Amino acid sequence: MSTPIKVIIVGALGKMGRETVKALENRLDMAIAGLVDVMHPGVSFAELTGIDCGLDLENDLEGLIAKVKPDVMIDFTNPQAVFNNTRRALACGVNCVVGTTGLNEAELSQLEQLAQANGTGVAVIPNFAIGAVLMMKFAQEAARYLPDVEIIETHHDQKMDAPSGTALKTAEMINANRGIQPPRNSREFEKIPGSRGGKAGDIRIHSVRLPGFVAHQEVIFGGPGQSLTIRHDSYDRVGFMPGVVMAVQKIVGIKGLVYGMDALM
């Protein structure tokens, strides 16, 4: 049997961090080597969460990397912390799986250069759900025939960034495969600014933030006398875990940056 992949999880106390600990703790091909969270350093993870993985929380990422020498860092933190966390890990020769959205193009470019320079891999994944990847692929294909499209994405009310990384990735894929775009309604005006949503290229994206939701997206196409709606719903974060596991397994064999689960499937 091959040596298990040593993994550290940053943002371990968050909802995705906790679910990831549960998903990896009993796997034979992976070993959780450390947990990082700025809250409650030195406190047992089990004491705070009821998930007994035998580890205490730490808040010194570089110190933990030097101590346990992980193969992979998984980041589920926030848009303010993710770039520096990933930059530090790559500089230490650690492969990275990034589930935190909010990285801009300049930051992605820097991370790609750093990964290449250090012979490491970084996977930036806006959405780990396999069904969401299929939704994006189906939308990309539909855009060849129905270029008029808008996106509505709904998330829980604690999500920090809008629009979601999934919505932006969907718009990017659609724009890359779109036919000729029809002329827009030049007389349209917004009685309330922002009521028509934001724009990625010329695709409108509408972001909804409400309690009770996890992650949901509709891609709505319109054409003469017809419409097509492609929708994906995540009801529980456990649905993201097969994608997290796949990303960890594959990133150890990749050099440079990959963006989106579709690049790993």
The pLDDT of 169-192, averaged and rounded, is 83
Are residues 103 and 228 both part of a single domain? Answer: no
Are residues 66 and 135 both part of a single domain? Answer: no
The pLDDT of 182-207, averaged and rounded, is 87
- 198 residue type, one letter: G
Are residues 119 and 21 both part of a single domain? Answer: yes
CB atoms closer than 10 angstroms to residue 50: 8
Q: How far apart are CA 168 and CA 203, in angstroms?
A: 10
Are residues 161 and 252 both part of a single domain? Answer: no
Q: Confidence class of residue 18 from pLDDT cuts 50, 70 and 90? A: very high
**The pLDDT value given to residue 180:** 67
Q: Which residues pair with 206 in a beta bridge?
A: 152
Q: Confidence class of residue 202 from pLDDT cuts 50, 70 and 90? A: confident
The pLDDT of 19-33, averaged and rounded, is 95
Are residues 117 and 145 both part of a single domain? Answer: no
Q: Confidence class of residue 183 from pLDDT cuts 50, 70 and 90? A: low
Q: Confidence class of residue 182 from pLDDT cuts 50, 70 and 90? A: low
The CATH number of residue 242's host domain is 3.40.50.720
- Count of structural domains, the chain: 2
**The pLDDT value given to residue 230:** 98
Are residues 162 and 243 both part of a single domain? Answer: no
Which residue range is the domain that position 159 belongs to?
A: 130-234
Are residues 138 and 226 both part of a single domain? Answer: yes
Are residues 254 and 193 both part of a single domain? Answer: no
Distance between first and last Cα of the chain: 24
Say whether pLDDT at 1 is over 70. Answer: no
The pLDDT of 34-52, averaged and rounded, is 93
Say whether pLDDT at 79 is over 90. Answer: no
CB atoms closer than 10 angstroms to residue 91: 15
CB atoms closer than 10 angstroms to residue 244: 24
Are residues 41 and 68 both part of a single domain? Answer: yes
- The reported pTM is 0.82
Are residues 84 and 114 both part of a single domain? Answer: yes
* Model confidence pLDDT, tens digit, residues 219-251: 999 999 999 999 999 999 999 999 999 999 999
Q: Which residues pair with 78 in a beta bridge?
A: none
**The pLDDT value given to residue 100:** 87
- Residues classed as catalytic: 155, 159
Are residues 50 and 178 both part of a single domain? Answer: no
The DSSP code sequence of 192-248 is STTTT-EEETTEEEEEEE-TT--EEEEEEEEETTEEEEEEEEE-SGGGGHHHHHHHH
The CATH number of residue 188's host domain is 3.30.360.10
The pLDDT of 33-40, averaged and rounded, is 93
Considering the chain, what percentage of its residues have pLDDT values greater than 70?
A: 98
The pLDDT of 162-185, averaged and rounded, is 85
Contact 56, 49 (CB under 8 A): no
Are residues 90 and 145 both part of a single domain? Answer: no
